[in-house]
Chain A
Amino acid sequence: MTAGLLFDLMMALAVLGTAAWTLAARTQFAAVIGFVATGLLLSLVWVRLGAVDVALTEAAIGAGATGVIILYVVARLRGGTAEISAATPSRAQRALAALLAVAVGGVLALAVLNLPDPAPSLAEAALAGSAPLGLGNPVSAVLMAHRGLDTLLESVVLVFAVLAVWSMAADHRWGGAPGPVFRREESGPLSLLARVLPPVGIVVGIYIAWVGADAPGGKFQGGTILAAMWILPWIAGLARPPSITDWRLRLMIAAGPLTFLCVGLAGFAVADGFLSYPPSFAKPLILLIEAAMTLSVAAALACLIAGPPERRLPPESMAADRR
């Protein structure tokens, strides 16, 4: 057995082990830790699979942002044990569920191991298709051009999600800022972090978004880091997020898809039609969309993490807070 094979086997076992532990964990908190650990291991697996772009996304969004948001809810849920034990499936039901899961997993394994060899691939076509766009990273080329409609619709989905989250607010909270109101921390580790980290984090986030055109990275990975940097001062109570009725916040969230849509429609006039780029001007246009999308991803993710407005501050206290 070669070293590489052994490593893959160890990674596979580690991922499955932490995943199983996540389900078995006694407390919700432990389950989240297990989930994040699984996600981080998976990022390593993605590197093994030669997909560094995905590895970064998995670490930033799959493990990082998802972990944070689940943890944030865990801290606020106080489950009634009676209700939970009443709703827990019986031993027989769980055995049935296990049977179903094993059957699906087994059939799936049968299918995967019987995929054709050599595998069909669009790698060559994607590489050839990314050259005229001036992009060195074929994954970005697929995201922005060949499958641009996916990315456009996905950025629209993020706006849907933000609006759906906001619309879960209580009626009388409408007009408040996203999320609960945090106490201002003048000192302590959180406050320090919220003061020191953002300048560095913002630079890193923008850098990762910027290099995405030619190297692993991109708007989603960079935007997630920016979102974290934006939220940190909220949680430390050092800054107050804008009200959800503020059109500037809304514009930030919608700017990415709107820019993408406008550039796409402009293709009718200046190129071969919807979502096509003029050959000489493709890269600047793509970078423009990427910049707007990075901003929007950051704003949307921050709002998704913060949640619906939970308190509506009287105007004077908001003014006092701004100082």
Chain B
Amino acid sequence: MSGTDILALAACGLVAIGLYGVVAQAEVLRKIIAFNLLGAGVFLLFGVVARRGAAAGLAADPVPQAMVITGLVVAFAATALALVLTLRLHQITGAATVAEDPPSGAAPDPASEP
């Protein structure tokens, strides 16, 4: 087993950890953190693919590397959006999860927001 294979397994492990966190944790904030771990695992897999494609004197195939750079920026934007929505949800309703509302969950008036 080569070093790249070991890192490939780490990528799979990271995906599994992230996936578990997204599904099994209640707080949205922790779901978002877990989503980022999941994303990191996916990007690491691209890194392994790039490393396996080392050729022509390059340490890694530049094409998957470029994809990861694009992907990281998009993932950051997605995280920012999810966090803002989380914060707004919390400011307005006080909720920290996306569980179904109890039937009579009356939300406070939006004007009373801090």
- Contact among B37, B55, B94 with A123 in the assembled complex (CB-CB below 8 Å): B55
User: Nearest Cβ distance between residue B97 and chain A, in whole angstroms?
Assistant: 4
- The contact of A126 among B37, B61, B70, B90, by CB within 8 Å, is B61
* Contact assessment for A139 and B65 in the assembled complex, using a CB-CB cutoff below 8 Å: yes
How far, in angstroms, from A121 to B76 measured CA to CA in the complex?
A: 28
Contacts of B33 in A (CB 8 A): 22, 31-32, 35, 70
- Closest chain B CB from A11 CB (angstroms): 7
Contact indicator A31/B30 (Cβ below 8 Å)? yes
A38:B40 contact, CB within 8 angstroms = yes
CB distance from B71 to the nearest CB of A (A): 9
Inter-chain residue pair count (beta carbon < 8 A): 295
Q: Given the complex of chains A and B, what is the CA–CA distance between A309 and B103 in angstroms?
A: 32
Chain B 52-99 interface residues, beta-carbon cutoff 8 Å to A = 52-63, 65-70, 72-81, 83-88, 90, 94-97, 99
Contact of A112 among B45, B57, B96 (CB under 8 A): B45
B70 and A70 contact, CB distance less than 8 A: no
The answer for the CA separation of A98 and B23 in the assembled complex, in Å, is: 9
Interface size class for chain A? Answer: 35 or more
- Determine whether A200 belongs to the interface, using a CB cutoff of 8 Å to chain B: no
CA A109 to CA B32, docked complex, whole Å = 24
In the complex, A278 Cα to B76 Cα: how many Å?
Answer: 33
Q: Is the CB of A143 within 8 A of B70?
A: yes
Q: Is A66 an interface residue (CB 8 A)?
A: yes
Which one, B7, B24, B48, contacts A11 given CB within 8 A?
B7
Q: Residues 12-48 of chain B: 1 if any A CB is under 8 Å from the residue's CB, otherwise 0?
A: 1111111111011111011011101100100111011
- 17 example contacts (A-B, Cβ-Cβ < 8 A) are as follows A8-B6, A23-B25, A49-B50, A54-B69, A57-B72, A62-B75, A77-B29, A77-B86, A79-B27, A79-B90, A89-B26, A94-B24, A105-B16, A113-B5, A150-B66, A158-B77, A168-B85
Closest 8 CB pairs of A and B: A50-B59, A105-B16, A121-B53, A79-B96, A87-B99, A12-B10, A161-B77, A8-B3
A→B interface (CB under 8 Å): 4-5, 7-9, 11-12, 15-16, 19-20, 22-23, 28, 31-32, 35, 38-39, 42, 45-46, 48-51, 53-54, 57-58, 61-62, 65-66, 69-70, 73-74, 76-80, 83-89, 93-94, 97-98, 100-102, 104-106, 108-109, 112-113, 115, 117, 119-124, 126-127, 138-139, 141-143, 146-147, 150-151, 154, 157-158, 160-161, 164-165, 168, 170, 218, 220, 297, 301, 304-305, 307-308
Residues of B within 8 A of A (CB): 2-21, 23-27, 29-30, 32-34, 36-37, 40, 43-45, 47-63, 65-70, 72-81, 83-88, 90, 94-97, 99, 110, 113
